[in-house]
Amino acid sequence: MKVYDCCDLIRQRYAEIGSGDQGYIPNAIACAVKTLNAIASDESVPEEAREQAAFAAANLLISDHKDA
């Protein structure tokens, strides 16, 4: 997936990180898993979104990609 395939909010944050307005996080996989875990464990979030977050986090954890 490319940044231009993402929603406006993601493209906005991408531009802010690229310009230096927002901080870059070197351990992006760990950051993503922590965020997805927070979504998956939040009972105020709709069940479908929680399931999607859990599935995405599990796939990241099982993938062979590692943070540098």
Check residue 25 and give its pLDDT. Answer: 87
Residues 6+ apart with CB under 8 A from 10: 3
What is the pLDDT tens value at each position of the chain, 68 positions in all? 899 999 999 999 999 999 999 889 888 889 999 999 999 999 999 999 999 999 999 999 998 667 65
Domain ranges of the chain: 3-62
Check residue 26 and give its pLDDT. Answer: 87
Task: Give the span between the Cα atoms of 28 and 33, in whole angstroms.
Answer: 9
Check residue 63 and give its pLDDT. Answer: 87
Locate 54 and state its tokens: 């859990």
